[in-house]
Protein backbone atom coordinates (compact mmCIF):
# COMPACT_ATOMS: atom_id res chain seq x y z
CA UNK A 1 0.00 0.00 0.00
CA UNK A 2 1.32 3.43 -0.90
CA UNK A 3 2.41 5.63 2.02
CA UNK A 4 0.24 8.47 0.72
CA UNK A 5 -2.83 6.19 0.76
CA UNK A 6 -2.07 5.15 4.34
CA UNK A 7 -1.87 8.80 5.34
CA UNK A 8 -5.19 9.58 3.65
CA UNK A 9 -6.89 6.62 5.31
CA UNK A 10 -5.47 7.60 8.69
CA UNK A 11 -6.73 11.16 8.25
CA UNK A 12 -10.16 9.85 7.28
CA UNK A 13 -10.31 7.68 10.40
CA UNK A 14 -9.22 10.57 12.62
CA UNK A 15 -11.78 12.86 10.98
CA UNK A 16 -14.53 10.29 11.47
CA UNK A 17 -13.62 9.95 15.16
CA UNK A 18 -13.59 13.72 15.54
CA UNK A 19 -16.99 14.09 13.87
CA UNK A 20 -18.43 11.35 16.07
CA UNK A 21 -17.23 13.19 19.17
CA UNK A 22 -18.72 16.46 17.93
CA UNK A 23 -22.08 14.82 17.19
CA UNK A 24 -22.08 13.16 20.62
CA UNK A 25 -21.31 16.46 22.32
CA UNK A 26 -24.04 18.23 20.35
CA UNK A 27 -26.52 15.51 21.22
CA UNK A 28 -25.63 15.67 24.92
CA UNK A 29 -25.88 19.47 24.89
CA UNK A 30 -29.26 19.35 23.17
CA UNK A 31 -30.57 16.72 25.57
CA UNK A 32 -29.36 18.74 28.56
CA UNK A 33 -31.08 21.83 27.17
CA UNK A 34 -34.44 20.12 26.70
CA UNK A 35 -34.20 18.40 30.08
CA UNK A 36 -33.59 21.78 31.69
CA UNK A 37 -36.46 23.31 29.72
CA UNK A 38 -38.74 20.53 30.98
CA UNK A 39 -37.56 21.24 34.51
CA UNK A 40 -38.22 24.97 33.98
CA UNK A 41 -41.71 24.45 32.56
CA UNK A 42 -42.72 22.31 35.53
CA UNK A 43 -41.15 24.52 38.21
CA UNK A 44 -43.33 25.85 41.03
CA UNK A 45 -44.28 29.52 40.75
CA UNK A 46 -42.54 31.48 43.47
CA UNK A 47 -44.24 34.06 45.69
CA UNK A 48 -42.84 37.28 44.22
CA UNK A 49 -43.94 39.28 47.26
CA UNK A 50 -41.31 37.49 49.33
CA UNK A 51 -38.40 38.73 47.20
CA UNK A 52 -36.00 41.51 48.15
CA UNK A 53 -36.15 44.16 45.46
CA UNK A 54 -33.67 46.87 44.56
CA UNK A 55 -34.62 50.27 45.93
CA UNK A 56 -33.36 53.49 44.32
CA UNK A 57 -32.14 55.85 47.10
CA UNK A 58 -33.77 58.95 45.66
CA UNK A 59 -33.42 60.73 49.02
CA UNK A 60 -29.64 60.73 48.46
CA UNK A 61 -29.86 62.02 44.90
CA UNK A 62 -29.66 65.79 44.21
CA UNK A 63 -33.07 65.92 42.60
CA UNK A 64 -34.35 69.19 41.09
CA UNK A 65 -30.89 70.73 40.89
CA UNK A 66 -31.52 72.03 37.39
CA UNK A 67 -34.28 73.60 35.35
CA UNK A 68 -32.93 72.06 32.17
CA UNK A 69 -35.73 70.12 30.48
CA UNK A 70 -33.50 67.15 29.66
CA UNK A 71 -32.39 66.84 33.30
CA UNK A 72 -35.97 67.10 34.53
CA UNK A 73 -37.03 64.32 32.17
CA UNK A 74 -34.33 62.03 33.52
CA UNK A 75 -35.30 62.81 37.10
CA UNK A 76 -38.96 62.14 36.36
CA UNK A 77 -38.05 58.85 34.71
CA UNK A 78 -35.99 57.85 37.77
CA UNK A 79 -38.83 58.80 40.10
CA UNK A 80 -41.25 56.75 38.02
CA UNK A 81 -39.07 53.66 37.78
CA UNK A 82 -38.36 53.87 41.51
CA UNK A 83 -42.01 52.87 42.04
CA UNK A 84 -41.41 49.61 40.15
CA UNK A 85 -40.12 46.33 41.50
CA UNK A 86 -36.54 45.94 40.27
CA UNK A 87 -34.33 42.86 39.97
CA UNK A 88 -30.86 42.49 38.50
CA UNK A 89 -31.31 39.57 36.12
CA UNK A 90 -28.23 40.21 34.00
CA UNK A 91 -26.84 37.05 32.46
CA UNK A 92 -29.90 34.92 33.20
CA UNK A 93 -31.77 33.15 30.42
CA UNK A 94 -35.52 32.63 30.26
CA UNK A 95 -34.92 29.05 31.32
CA UNK A 96 -33.00 30.27 34.38
CA UNK A 97 -35.86 32.62 35.24
CA UNK A 98 -38.52 29.93 34.95
CA UNK A 99 -36.55 27.57 37.17
CA UNK A 100 -35.92 30.25 39.80
CA UNK A 101 -39.26 32.06 39.76
CA UNK A 102 -41.67 29.70 38.00
CA UNK A 103 -43.00 29.75 34.42
CA UNK A 104 -46.16 31.61 35.46
CA UNK A 105 -44.04 34.53 36.65
CA UNK A 106 -41.83 34.76 33.57
CA UNK A 107 -43.43 37.83 31.98
CA UNK A 108 -43.59 39.70 35.28
CA UNK A 109 -39.99 38.91 36.19
CA UNK A 110 -38.75 39.83 32.72
CA UNK A 111 -40.35 43.25 33.17
CA UNK A 112 -38.53 43.66 36.48
CA UNK A 113 -35.26 42.89 34.74
CA UNK A 114 -36.04 45.27 31.88
CA UNK A 115 -36.87 48.03 34.37
CA UNK A 116 -33.58 47.40 36.16
CA UNK A 117 -31.68 47.72 32.89
CA UNK A 118 -33.51 50.96 32.12
CA UNK A 119 -32.60 52.26 35.57
CA UNK A 120 -28.88 51.60 35.03
CA UNK A 121 -28.99 53.61 31.81
CA UNK A 122 -30.82 56.48 33.54
CA UNK A 123 -28.23 56.53 36.32
CA UNK A 124 -25.45 57.10 33.81
CA UNK A 125 -27.42 59.78 31.99
CA UNK A 126 -28.14 61.54 35.28
CA UNK A 127 -24.50 61.34 36.38
CA UNK A 128 -23.42 62.92 33.09
CA UNK A 129 -25.78 65.84 33.72
CA UNK A 130 -24.28 66.31 37.17
CA UNK A 131 -20.74 66.15 35.82
CA UNK A 132 -21.54 68.79 33.23
CA UNK A 133 -22.11 71.28 36.08
CA UNK A 134 -19.10 69.89 37.99
CA UNK A 135 -21.13 68.24 40.74
CA UNK A 136 -18.75 65.31 40.87
CA UNK A 137 -19.55 64.21 44.43
CA UNK A 138 -23.24 64.00 43.57
CA UNK A 139 -22.42 62.15 40.37
CA UNK A 140 -20.39 59.63 42.39
CA UNK A 141 -23.36 59.09 44.70
CA UNK A 142 -25.45 58.13 41.69
CA UNK A 143 -22.74 56.02 40.04
CA UNK A 144 -21.75 54.29 43.29
CA UNK A 145 -25.33 53.13 43.66
CA UNK A 146 -25.14 51.73 40.13
CA UNK A 147 -21.97 49.88 41.05
CA UNK A 148 -23.52 48.58 44.28
CA UNK A 149 -26.34 46.88 42.36
CA UNK A 150 -23.81 45.40 39.91
CA UNK A 151 -24.73 47.44 36.87
CA UNK A 152 -23.41 45.95 33.64
CA UNK A 153 -23.22 49.35 31.93
CA UNK A 154 -19.55 50.03 31.19
CA UNK A 155 -20.11 53.79 31.23
CA UNK A 156 -21.03 53.62 34.93
CA UNK A 157 -17.50 52.58 35.90
CA UNK A 158 -15.72 54.77 33.38
CA UNK A 159 -17.59 57.82 34.66
CA UNK A 160 -16.58 56.90 38.20
CA UNK A 161 -12.98 57.09 37.05
CA UNK A 162 -13.62 60.49 35.46
CA UNK A 163 -15.14 61.79 38.69
CA UNK A 164 -12.29 60.58 40.87
CA UNK A 165 -9.84 62.10 38.44
CA UNK A 166 -11.69 65.44 38.48
CA UNK A 167 -11.64 65.39 42.30
CA UNK A 168 -7.94 64.42 42.37
CA UNK A 169 -8.87 61.17 44.12
CA UNK A 170 -7.27 58.81 41.63
CA UNK A 171 -6.15 56.58 44.50
CA UNK A 172 -9.75 55.34 44.70
CA UNK A 173 -9.78 54.10 41.10
CA UNK A 174 -8.05 50.75 41.85
CA UNK A 175 -11.09 49.79 43.95
CA UNK A 176 -13.31 50.44 40.94
CA UNK A 177 -10.99 48.33 38.80
CA UNK A 178 -11.17 45.43 41.25
CA UNK A 179 -14.95 45.60 41.29
CA UNK A 180 -15.07 45.56 37.49
CA UNK A 181 -12.86 42.47 37.46
CA UNK A 182 -15.16 40.72 39.94
CA UNK A 183 -18.23 41.34 37.75
CA UNK A 184 -16.82 39.68 34.59
CA UNK A 185 -18.55 42.22 32.38
CA UNK A 186 -18.74 41.78 28.63
CA UNK A 187 -16.74 44.98 28.07
CA UNK A 188 -14.35 44.43 30.98
CA UNK A 189 -11.22 44.97 28.89
CA UNK A 190 -12.57 48.23 27.48
CA UNK A 191 -13.30 49.53 30.98
CA UNK A 192 -9.92 48.47 32.33
CA UNK A 193 -8.10 50.02 29.38
CA UNK A 194 -9.88 53.27 30.22
CA UNK A 195 -9.38 53.22 33.99
CA UNK A 196 -5.89 51.79 34.43
CA UNK A 197 -4.01 54.77 32.88
CA UNK A 198 -5.74 56.99 35.48
CA UNK A 199 -4.13 55.16 38.39
CA UNK A 200 -1.17 57.10 39.85
CA UNK A 201 2.22 55.51 39.23
CA UNK A 202 2.86 54.98 42.95
CA UNK A 203 -0.41 53.05 43.23
CA UNK A 204 0.52 50.91 40.23
CA UNK A 205 3.94 50.20 41.76
CA UNK A 206 2.36 49.25 45.07
CA UNK A 207 -0.08 46.91 43.33
CA UNK A 208 2.74 45.29 41.36
CA UNK A 209 4.78 44.92 44.57
CA UNK A 210 1.86 43.22 46.33
CA UNK A 211 1.44 40.83 43.39
CA UNK A 212 5.11 39.88 43.57
Distance from C-alpha of 46 to C-alpha of 115, rounded to nearest angstrom: 20
Residue 28: predicted pLDDT? 56
Over residues 146-158, the mean pLDDT reads 97
Q: Does residue 135 surpass a pLDDT of 90?
A: yes
Q: Are 163 and 170 in contact (CB under 8 A)?
A: no
pLDDT band at 24 (very low <50, low <70, confident <90, very high): low
Distance from C-alpha of 138 to C-alpha of 127, rounded to nearest angstrom: 8
Question: What is the DSSP annotation of 58-72?
Answer: GGGS-TT----HHHH
Residue 59: predicted pLDDT? 96
Q: Does residue 50 surpass a pLDDT of 90?
A: yes
Residue 20: predicted pLDDT? 67
Distance from C-alpha of 102 to C-alpha of 175, rounded to nearest angstrom: 37
- Average model confidence (pLDDT) across the chain: 88
pLDDT in tens, 99-110: 999 999 999 999
Q: For the chain, what is the radius of gyration of the CA atoms?
A: 25
Q: Does residue 211 surpass a pLDDT of 90?
A: no
Over residues 17-21, the mean pLDDT reads 72
pLDDT band at 3 (very low <50, low <70, confident <90, very high): low
Over residues 33-57, the mean pLDDT reads 86
- Specify which residues 54 forms β-bridges with: 86
pTM of the model: 0.80
Over residues 52-65, the mean pLDDT reads 96
Over residues 7-17, the mean pLDDT reads 71
Q: By mean pLDDT, which of 20-24, 122-126, 191-195 is the weakest?
A: 20-24
pLDDT in tens, 63-94: 999 999 999 999 999 999 999 999 999 999 99
Q: Mind listing the domains of the chain with CATH numbers?
A: 43-211 (1.25.40)
Q: Does residue 209 surpass a pLDDT of 60?
A: no
Amino acid sequence: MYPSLIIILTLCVLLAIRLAKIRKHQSETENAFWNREKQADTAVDRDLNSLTYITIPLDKFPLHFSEDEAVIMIEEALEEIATHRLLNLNGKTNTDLKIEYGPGNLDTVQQMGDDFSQMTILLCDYAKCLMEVERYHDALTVLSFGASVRSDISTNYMLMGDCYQALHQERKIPAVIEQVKSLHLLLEHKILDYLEPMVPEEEQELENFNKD
